[in-house]
Amino acid sequence: MNAAVSRGDLKSTTYEFFILAVSILSIVNMALFALLPWESQSWWVVVYIDIGLTIIFLIDFGFRLLTAESKRGYLVQGRGVFDLLGCVPALRIFRLFRIVRAIRIIRRLGGPRVFRELRSGLASGTLYLVVFLGIFTLEFVGLLELHFEQDAPGANITTAGDALWWGYVTATTVG
């Protein structure tokens, strides 16, 4: 029965897992917005990362719209309107629909088929994993570095930009 399941709005299993992971990170960031002091440097780290996530969601929306068999079908039945609304920073809560869609698609395909497709898409899956882990690491290591350095005497890392730059340079250089 699973072999007869239409791929529908599934772009690729590895891509859907990437969007699922980025969506979950976005929801975690919503919680961080509520927990961190307003306009603190830590809050700004989350804002900068969320801007990057918003760009990913805009690209995803455009990709899904351009590749949809029916643009209207994607926007109405495919709930593309929710994807578009989730790209608006004030309406981040709509990003929950991306999580629901990804889980629904993965469940519809079934476990064995998902694992088969993940194995066959190992190269793209690895790329998506590296991109996601890069974003995740940049955010949380930046937050930790800022936490420990911000109020230290003679510290070089005192702003969100400093923390993210430090994380980027550290991750992309050797030695």
- Report pLDDT digits (tens) over 9-45: 567 888 988 999 999 999 999 999 999 999 999 999 9
Residue 116 has pLDDT above 80, yes or no: yes
Residue 164 has pLDDT above 90, yes or no: yes
Query: Rounded CA gap, 23 and 13, in Å?
Result: 15
Q: Is the pTM of this model over 0.95?
A: no
Query: Rounded CA gap, 119 and 107, in Å?
Result: 17
Structure-token pair, residue 120: 């066959």
